[in-house]
Structure formats: structure tokens, C-alpha cells
Structure 1
Amino acid sequence: MRHQRRGDVIVRLVFALAAGVVYQYAFAPYLIWPLAVPALAMIAWAVLGRGFWFGALSGALFGVGFWTGHIIWLTEYLGAVPWIALSAAMTAFCALGCAIGGFLTRRRLMRQTHPALIALVWAIVWTAREAVFSRMPYGGFAWGEAAHSQSNAPTIGLSSWLGLAGLTLALVFVSALPVTWMLSRRPVRRPLVVGVVLLVLGMLVPAWGAIVPAQGSVRIAAVQGNANAGLFSNAQPGEILANHLAAARQIMHDDFDVMVWPENAVDLDVLRNRQAHAQIEAFVDEMGRPLVLGSVTKRGDDFYNSVVLWMPKGMSAPAGLTDERDDGAAEPAVSGVDPTTTSGGPVQIYDKKHPVPFAEYMPDRWLFHPIAPDLVDLVPRGYTFGQRTGNFQIPSGDTANDAVNAGVLICFETGDSDLVHAAVAGGAQLLLAPTNNADFGQTAESAQQMAIARANAVAAARSLVNISTVSSSAVIAPDGAFIDRLPDFEPGTMVQDVPLQGSLAPGFFAGPVITWGSVAATVLMIVGEVVTRRRDRRLGQQITARSGRI
């Protein structure tokens, strides 16, 4: 196990592949979170100290073992091509990260650098790789990050102190520490004890929301219509809206402050279609409370994946309510409604800022159409990237303020840490996450998305209402506990008091620092390693030349 024999190359490669297979069982839908530690230890043992190219090969095998199983749900409706393409891309990113890890640790192990420093270098590189490729290319794919494997673990509380990036850093470090000690030919007992102590301490750190008392609450009704809202849905126009109206009418006269519907719950443009507009208006006016709903909207030549705050007639809009862009520029009034009046209607709208590439829009169509024309043609038009502020001001009778500030995230945006951070920075006291998982049927996709949303809720120290058209609908407390859940693929409703939080968790500040600090540190380490190797090479050549003259 100390890389003493050349014959163990195959064994290490087998371990790298097995590590990827084991790693996926730490994530949803399995959620066997302790398996993340041995899986991360196995890939560390295969890679550390072995150089760039062996690290790349080991990382590629790890990526194949993990990604091909973790995102198999892509084949549900779209077949094997998108699954193979995305698995290959994420595997390439794994290979690059492991290659850098092998490159940066080879000489450090040879020179007997302290094992804790080597484990830290490896953890920094892993964290940096996740940070970069969850954001690029095309907005990245924030899926399968190490911190997400801890969504139902006691260790998830650490994210409210260090952010999700900090939790990833800590998890990878603790997993690699015994390995680096072993590879450096030192007694293994000490790092095992240290690793166990650090892991236990992480498990004992509670979520920030469990430390700071809730600052009020808002009573929310959430509706899952169990509607066939998938890409290839054969539902008649208005059918999905009818499903949600039917489910919502069962609780419309209950005691709550606001009702929330999923993404695409209104399958007609609620701002332009008279029938849909009239139905929503009549329902909200009868209910007498605000409604947050998802609808595809068109303004000018642009289509948007939108969430709308609809007010009943006679209810005053919160003081200071504006409908503006993130850059402060004024937006045209939504559907001609003045939000400062009491006329009701759509007073605020949020357009999805991070549409999913290759699904909600097609990047570089000129490049990908010749490769897979049938698949590219499934996305004939793309959603425009939203620019509006994602913080809704929702009236509430249970708070001292005029309104509750709710940060809105649509579907996959719950995995975008930057958008979550922006919502909290905008004053969000809770998070609303309307989503539509119908495209993926009864696969693991919705469970994985729920785990990601749960992890981000704890990291942000905010309650989160995840409401879907079909599956994985739940109300989540700031400490990650489920306040309420709905059965999958059944119409249902939840009416719950949702805790509000105005304080900022330490992770709000530490998370971005660790995220971008790990990227900067990795770049600096690469530059330093290249410069050092060139300098040592020149010195070696000079010594050889002098020896020849002597």
C-alpha cells in the first residue's frame, strides 16, 4: 500500500474504479453517507504521489465508476447520448483534478513533506476542481459534490460554519489524512485518531439554524399537482393548470399566509393567455391570499422560465415593493400592473437566471447540431437568461415587518451556491424552490436534487420549501430537518409554519472565501511547482556540466 512495487499499478487502478462505484452510494437515493470517507480515501491512495498522467488515468476511472451510475437518470427520456456525453465531460474534469493532485504531491511525498500538508494540498485541489466545474462551462453542473453526500449526515451542520466548499475541504482532508501518513511511511495510529476526532467534531457541530432562534414564521401552503409536465408530455393545454387548481382548492380556505405552486404549474403564459389569467385571478381573489406560481412567459421576442407573485384584489402590496433588475435598472411593469396599487394581479416576477444548458437552451448550436441533430432539435428555442431580482416581498400577518423576504430559486438553481448566496445577501428570510421533475420519471434525479437543496438550505441557514409538480416536495428547516414531505407522484398539499431567519451564518462569509481561495491556492501551487521543477532541472544540468569539465 506504500507504492513500493511496480506490480501494484493495476491494483491502484482497480481501487480508483471501485472508489467511484462506492462513492455514488454515499449520495441520494442511497444516502449511505459514511461511504464517502472510504471512497475518498481509496481515490487518494490511488492518485497521491503518482504524478500527472497516472493521476489522470486514476481520476478517469474514478469518474467512470461514479458518474455513469450517478446520472443514469438522463437516459429516462433522452436516451444514451446525453448520458454518455455528460458522463464523459464530468469524467474528464475528474481526471484533470486528480492529475493536478498527483502532480502537486509527487515531489512532496518523495521529500517527506508532513502528511497533513499533503492531505491539505489534495483537499484544496479537490475543492477547487468542484468549484470551477460547477460553474463552467455553460454555467457548470453543480451535481455530485462531496458536500452533497452529507445532506442527511450529522456533518452537514459544518456547512453552516464553513459553507459547502468548507465541508468538502474538511471531508476530503479527513479522508486523505490516514492515507498520506501511510504513504509517508509513518505510524498510522496517530492520523487515524486525528481523523476520527475531526470527523466526530464535525458531526457534533450543529447547524446555525439550531443555534439562533427563529425570527418569526410564515405559514405556507404548498401544492403538488402530480401533473404530467415533462418535455414530451401529451397533456392538453391547460390540463396542468387544472391539476394544480384542483389540488389547491382543497385547502384554499385553510389558515395560511401564502400559497406556493411548482415550476411550470401553469402550462399557459399566465401574463398573456386570457383564459389562464382569468382562472388564476378568480382563484387568488377567492382565496384572498397571495399565490406564488411557475409559468413560461413571453415578453417581446424572449421566452422566460418564470415564477410570479400574484396578489388578490384589495390586498395592499408591501411597502417598498419594486420589480427591478439586479443591476438596479427599472423593468417594465408586469402585465401592466402597478405593484404599488391594491388592484391585485402579478406584482413581482422572477425569471430563471441559470437555465439548464442542452435542456432549456442550446449553447453553440452550430457546434452540436452536426453531432446530434435529433437531440439538438428537441430544443427549438431557448429561454432567455433572467435579470430580475429573485427576492419576493410577501405579505404576512405573523411578522412584525410589512413582508417576508423570500428568495426564489427555480429547479436546478437550488444547486447554484452563488444564486443561493445572492438570495440571502438580498435579505431572504427563507427560500422558495418551485421545481418540475416530471421529465425524469421515477428515477433518482428528484431525490438527488432534494439532497442538494437540503445541503444548500443548511449552508444558507434558511428554511426551504421545495415544491415539485410530481416528486420530492418537502419543507426543510434551517438545520436540514424535514418539517413536512409529500408522497411522490400523488397530488398533495402541505400547510406548515416555516421558520424565518434574518441572521447570517458564518458560512455565508467563509464559503466564498474557501471556494475561491482553494482555486487561487491551486493555481499558485501549480505555478510554484512548475517554477521549482524548472529551477531544479537547470541546477541539475549545471552540476552535470561542471562534473563533465572536472
Structure 2
Amino acid sequence: MGAVVPDTLERAPDAPHPAPRVARGLRLPWRTLLAAAGGLLLLLAFPGSGVWALAPLGPAALALAVRGQRARGGAWLGLVFGLAFFVPLLSWSGIYVGAFPWLALAGWEALHLALLGAAAAATSRLPLWPLWGAALWVADEALRGRFVLGGFPWGRLGLSQTEGPFLSLAAFGGVPLVSFAVALTGTLLAAALVALRGGRGPALRAAALAAAGAVAVPVLGWLAWLPLPGPSLTEGGPTATVAVIQGDVPQPGLDFNERRRAVLDNHVARTFELAEAVTAGAQPRPDAVIWPENSSDIDPYLNEDAARQIGRAAAAIGAPILVGAVVDGPGRFISNTGIVWDPEDGPGDTYVKRHPVPLAEYVPARDFFRFFSDKVDLVRRDFVHGTEVGVLAMGGARVGDVICFEVVYDGLVRDVVEAGAGMIVVQTNNATFGYTDESEQQLAASRLRAVEFGRTVVVAATSGISAIVAPDGSLAARSELFEPAVFVEDVAQRDSTTLAERLGAAPEWTLTALGAGAVLAVAVPALARRRTRRSAA
């Protein structure tokens, strides 16, 4: 009676283990199906379906699938989970370039989940295994977000939480703490199910304890909302009136900027329309106007006509415009640049994108990657990596500029807030992903950042989704895909700091160390036993 729970809670980590009772009814094919189902359940929690409450069921399913398995079996189950999750989640990445780049990216991301599955299996018999399993999720995401080529932290557990109790935790430990809370809820649910199969007495008490923990985590999340800012855009500092222009593009796809002048003209035209509305008293005059990434793919430093059109728009609205431009140079490179264009003085402060996307904005080892796909040659010139943090002063606003996918990199967003940004701006161009869920998934990251740093986040997209996100992560305004849109809102320029900002990456590294420590607690005795057997032989 209760064989699983005493084995879990009392047995020494290096002692031999009987197969947990839950494993007897779950042979590998069933475990594989459970892992696949877990990946699909997690997918449903992400924008597109957006059922955020399903997110803990993903880690729960993986924990049950790998429970009692060896690392090799756990790796297989983690890979199945990862493919079931990442292949559909990242389908937008192949919408115009074919299946190979999409499946290669999804497969690469899934390999990290294979590592997670192996580690979770190896530690699944340790005391307090739900805690170590949740910490391993954070460790795995930390690895995936940094290596190789700077990593790609898309699809982290925390980025599924655009509302609900877990979202509040972003203000206390950033996306890693949200991921940990989601994973811990899931692994505690799994522990409750494991214990329930153990019978009566101690097993039922252990099940009740684990279930209580799974409830306590989101309850703590609800309580964590109490000291945080609400949905007001204007509280917390002096305000600046900010306008967002979504000019739209002639057509979606890789050729969205084939008519580059049309894209620029669209944003100029929407700005003139706003100026007419201001003159008529229908809209307040903005202090700053935000255009998206790629709003001028004609270099305004070299093309007098493009510069003239931008200057006319700035003069008409009577406010500086943050223009997203592709700028020639330095040298053989080009630069993805945000330019503050003043109505009187013309181009001023700039921000150059610090983390261009590998294989999309630059191609390392071009000959090697061309062997797999000639699509790399669509990137004719590589974008340079910027070096300066993007805090720009314009019209009384202190704009912390990040461009496109930079919003999912914790350190890049933290840098602009620490450098004094009173608001965060995400300039993006999603036209290359058509009518897919990519824009919704990217917007979700902006909503996490708003809570994490207690700042309003302004998203300006060429073709959508543009939005103004309040400091509590709610949407004050949003556009639809491939429709022109203009927003004007008063936005407080905040200088408060959240605990997440003060702690920086410490929560992530602490949780990563917990997970790594659990793996070492299993690996070191196992290696010692192997050496002993070899010596005896």
C-alpha cells in the first residue's frame, strides 16, 4: 500500500529502485502518446487557441510520461513532446519559404525538449521531484534562449500566459518565474496522480498535499496582482501623447516590400490623415508618432525623395516620428534602424537592432546553409548587429525601442528599462508571416513585458498586430491584420522599478542551478557505481 510515495519521499537517491507503480500500465507506446498529447495541450494554451489555463497540463503530461524511465527513454519522450508542440507552433516560419526551414527550426527547438525529457526522467525518483522537474523547464528554456546563434526563446511556457494568475509573477521574476510557476503546477498535478495510484493512507495524504500545492501556486499568482499597476495608461508619471501608425502593405509575403515606396507612402498617408483629424479637433496632437519596422525600406539618408516624404509627414503632424528604416552600411552591411525624425531638424537619434535574426537578416556560414536550402540567398546583404541600447528621447517621451523578435529576449528589453525608458516600443514587421498566429504570439510577449517592467508597451506593426498594452498586460487598443490603423493615447512615462527588474536574471539562474543540481545528484552517484563495477571486474 502506498509503494510509490514512500519510494519517492524516503528512498536514498542512489539506492536501487523498483519500477513505480504508475509505469506498469504505461508501456512505451502509451507514454509516447501521452507525451504527444502533452505537446498538443501546451500548444492550445498559446495565442491562436489561447486557452492559457491548459498550459500546466503540458508539463504534467511530460512528467507522467517520463516518470521512472531511464534518461534515454526520457529523451525520446521529450522529443515527441517537443515535435508535437513546436511543429504546429512555428508553422508560420515556413508560410512563404517552404517546409524545410520550418521543420528544421521546429526540430532544433524540439531537441532541447529531448534534453529536458532525459533530465526529468533521471530526476523523477528523487525526493521533491516535482520541484526539480519544474526547475528543469526553466533551465531548458535558458539554454534554448541563448545557444546556438544567440538562441530562440520562442514558445517558453511563460509566453502562454497573457491573462490569469500566472501573468502577475512576471513582475517578480520575469518570464522565467512565470514558466516555473506553470511547470510546477503541472508537475504537482502529475505527482498527485502518481500518488493516487499508490492506494490508501500515506499515498492519499501525499496526493492531497501535491494537489494542494498545485492549487496554491495560481492562488499565489492571484494575490501577487494586489500591489501591481492596473490598466491605466496615465498613472505613474508625466504623460506624453503617443500615436501609432499601421500603414499596411500592398501584399503579404516575402515580397511585401517589393513596392517599397508604396509601404512608405501608406505610412505617410495615414500620418497626414491623423494630422487632418488633429486640425479638426477629432484627435489630440501627439507628442510622438511611432511607425513600424520596415516602414521605410528606402534609405532616407541616401534617397532625397524618401527623406522629403518623411519630413512632410513630420511637419504635418508637428511631432517627431520614430521611423523604422533599412539603412545602407556600414560597409557591405545594412542596418535595421529606428530613426527619430524631427519636424524641424530632420533625422536625429537612432537605434540599430542589436539581435538580427540568423538565416533571415544575416546568414552565417552561407555555403553550409545553402546546402540545405537556397532560400538563404533571399538574404542578399547581411544586417549588422547594433551595439547601443535603444533609449530615444522624442517629444517628452523616453522610448525604449526594441525591434521585432527582440521582444522575446529578456536581456534586450531589460536593458532599455534600466537605461531609463519610460515606455517600451516594439517596432515590428509581420507581413512576411501572412495570416498566421505569429503576430498574436509576438503580441503575447509584449503583454508579458508590460507586467514584468510596469510599463506601457506600444507595438507598431506594418500590417498588424499593432497594439497599446497597459502595465497590467491588458490591451488598451489593438489592430487587425492587413488593415490600416491609427491609435492615439496618453501614456505615462514611468520610472518605477519592479522586483523583476531589480533581480535581473537571478531568478532564472537560481532555478537553472536547482535543476542542474538535481541532475548532478543523480549523475554523480551513478558514475561512482559504474566506476566501482568496472574496478570489481
Task: Give the alignment's TM-score, normalised by structure 1.
Answer: 0.86
Match of 1:142 among 128, 153, 171: 153
- In the alignment, the residues of structure 2 paired with residue 345 and residue 102 of structure 1 have an alpha-carbon distance, to the nearest angstrom, of 60
- Cα distance, 1:216–1:532 mapped onto 2, change above 3 Å: same
Structure 1 position 210 matched with structure 2 position 230: yes
Q: Distance in 1 between matches of 2:22 and 2:54?
A: 24
Partner residue of 1:103?
122
Once the two structures are TM-superposed, the CA of residue 276 in structure 1 deviates from its matched residue by 0.7
RMSD over aligned CA atoms reads 2.1
Higher mean alpha-carbon deviation, 248-257 vs 467-476, is at 248-257
Partner residue of 2:503 out of 497, 510, 530: 510
CA contact (8 A) 1:166 1:511 kept: no
Q: Which amino acid aligns with 1:149?
A: S
1:362 aligned residue:
363
- Quote how far apart the aligned CAs of 1:527 are: 3.7
Selected match of 1:430 from 412, 420, 423: 423
CA distance in 2, matches of 1:298, 1:70: 34
Query: Do the aligned partners of 1:266 and 1:295 also contact (CA within 8 Å) in 2?
Result: yes
Cα distance between partner residues in 1 of 2:274 and 2:438: 29
- Per the TM alignment, residue 540 of structure 1 is displaced from its structure 2 partner at its CA by 6.4
Asked if 1:30 is matched to 2:15, the reply is no
The CA distance in 1 between the partners of 2:259 and 2:111, in whole Å, is: 42
1:361/1:383 contact within 8 Å kept: yes
- Alignment partner of 1:309: what SS? strand
Question: For the residues of structure 1 that align with 2:70 and 2:238, how far apart are their CA atoms?
Answer: 54
State the alpha-carbon separation in 2 of the partners of residues 197 and 517 from structure 1: 21
Q: Which moved more, 1:422-431 or 1:5-14?
A: 5-14
Q: After superposing the two structures, state which structure 1 stretch, 450-459 or 22-31, moved more.
A: 450-459
The offset of 1:230, in angstroms, is: 4.6
Alignment length, in residue pairs? 498
Amino acid aligned to 1:210 = G
Post-superposition shift, 1:538? 4.9
Residues 1:472 and 2:465 aligned together: yes
Q: Which residue of 1 aligns with 2:455?
A: 462
For residue 485 of structure 1, what is the aligned residue in structure 2? 478
Q: d(CA) in 1 for partners of 2:402 and 2:161?
A: 21
Percent of aligned positions that are identical: 32
Q: Is the 8 A contact 1:437 1:446 kept in 2?
A: yes
**Aligned pair partner of 2:95 in 76, 98, 116:** 76
1:244 counterpart residue number: 267
Contact persistence 2:274–2:317 (CA under 8 A) = no
Report the Cα distance in structure 1 between the residues aligned to 2:309 and 2:241, rounded to whole angstroms.
Answer: 24
Q: Give CA-to-partner distance per residue, 1:328-370, whole Å, 9 cap, x none.
A: xxxxxxxxxxxxxxxx111100011111111111122132112
* One of 143, 146, 163 as aligned partner of 1:152: 163
Q: Is residue 298 of structure 2 the alignment partner of residue 268 of structure 1?
A: yes
Distance 1:299 1:377, change over 3 A: closer
Q: Is the 8 A contact 1:119 1:176 kept in 2?
A: yes
Give the corresponding residue for 1:223: 245
In the alignment, which residue of structure 2 is the partner of 1:392? 392
Alpha-carbon distance, 1:193 to partner: 2.0
CA distance 1:480–1:130, shift in 2 (3 Å):
same
**Alpha carbons of structure 1 residues 101 and 36: separation in structure 2 relative to 1, 3 Å:** same
Task: Tell me the SS of whatever aligns to 2:274.
Answer: coil
Preserved CA contact (<8 Å) 2:136 2:516:
no
How far off is 1:243 after superposition?
0.6
Contact kept in structure 1, 2:165 and 2:218, CA below 8 Å: no
The question of 1:281 aligning with 2:303 is answered no
Deviation at 1:38, TM superposition (A): 1.7
**In the alignment, what sits opposite 1:8?**
27
Structure 1, unmatched stretches of 5+, are: 314-343, 397-403, 546-550
* Offset, 1:58: 0.6
Q: State the shift of 1:178 in Å.
A: 3.1
The amino acid that maps onto 2:292 is P
Deviation, 1:539, is 5.5
AA matched with 2:143: V
Picking from 291, 299, 308, the partner of 2:339 is 308
* Whole-Å separation in 1 of the counterparts to 2:379 and 2:457: 30
In the superposition, relative to structure 1, how do residues 384 and 367 fare at CA in structure 2: closer, same or farther (>3 Å)?
A: same
What's the CA shift string for 1:268-296, capped at 9, x where partnerless? 10111111111212321332211111000
By how many angstroms is 1:528 displaced? 4.0
Q: Note if contact 2:423-2:494 (Cα within 8 Å) is conserved in structure 1.
A: yes
Q: Is the 8 A contact 1:462 1:501 kept in 2?
A: yes
Aligned-residue offset at 1:451: 0.8
Structure 1 residue 6 displacement after superposition: 6.6
Contact 2:231 2:474 in 1 (8 A): no
Q: Which residue of 1 aligns with 2:281?
A: none
Match of 2:129 in 1: 118
2:524 to 516, 531, 535: 531
Aligned residue number for residue 439 of structure 1:
432
Aligned to 1:346: 347
Quote the residue 1:333 is aligned against: none
**Conserved 8 A contact 1:459-1:508:** yes
8 A contact 1:155–1:204 mirrored in 2:
no
What secondary structure, in the 3-state scheme, does the structure 2 residue paired with 1:358 have?
A: coil
- Tell me how far apart the structure 1 counterparts of residues 30 and 178 of structure 2 sit (CA, whole Å): 30
Q: CA deviation at 1:148?
A: 0.7
1:325 — aligned with what?
A: none
Tell me the amino acid that sits aligned with residue 361 of structure 2. Answer: E
Structure 2: state its 5+ residue gaps.
1-19, 279-283
Distance 1:239 1:495, change over 3 A: same
- The answer to whether the 8 A contact 1:266-1:293 is kept is yes
Q: Which moved more, 1:510-519 or 1:489-498?
A: 510-519
The 5-angstrom pairing of residues 369-380 of structure 1 reads 369-372=370-373, 374-380=374-380
In the aligned structure 2, how far is the partner of 1:278 from the partner of 1:266?
A: 12
The 3 A distance-change label for structure 1 pair 429 and 48 is farther
Letter of the aligned partner of 1:529 in structure 2? V
Quote the offset at 1:443 in angstroms: 0.8
- Is the CA contact 2:192–2:208 (under 8 Å) kept in the aligned structure 1? no
Give the whole-Å Cα distance in 2 for the aligned partners of 1:194 and 1:268: 56
8 Å Cα contact 2:192/2:210 also seen in 1: yes
Deviations 1:413-437 (A, max 9, x none): 1111110111111111110111100
Q: Which residue of 2 is the match for residue 319 of structure 1?
A: none
- The aligned residue for residue 340 of structure 1 is none
Deviation at residue 244 of structure 1 after TM alignment: 0.6
Contact 1:477 1:499 (C-alpha < 8 Å) held by counterparts: no
**Aligned 8 A contact 2:231 2:470 in 1:** no
Cα separation, 1, equivalents of 2:59 and 2:23: 21
How far off its partner does 1:75 sit?
Answer: 2.4
Distance across 2 between alignment mates of 1:56 and 1:442: 34
Aligned amino acid, residue 499 of structure 2: P
Find the aligned partners of 1:349 and 1:294 in 2 and give their Cα distance. Answer: 10
Measured against aligned partners, the alpha-carbon deviations of 1:301-320 in whole angstroms (never above 9, x if no partner) come to 1310011011122xxxxxxx
Q: 1:16 to 1:214 in 2, by over 3 A?
A: same
**Counterpart amino acid of residue 245 in structure 2:** V
Q: Give the deviation of 1:215 after TM superposition.
A: 1.7
SS at match of 2:497: coil
Query: Relative to structure 1, is the Cα distance of residues 388 and 194 closer, same or farther in structure 2, using a 3 angstrom cutoff?
Result: closer
Is the Cα contact below 8 Å between 1:161 and 1:208 reproduced in 2?
no
Asked if residue 127 in structure 1 is aligned to residue 138 in structure 2, the reply is yes
Q: Partner residue of 1:177?
A: 188
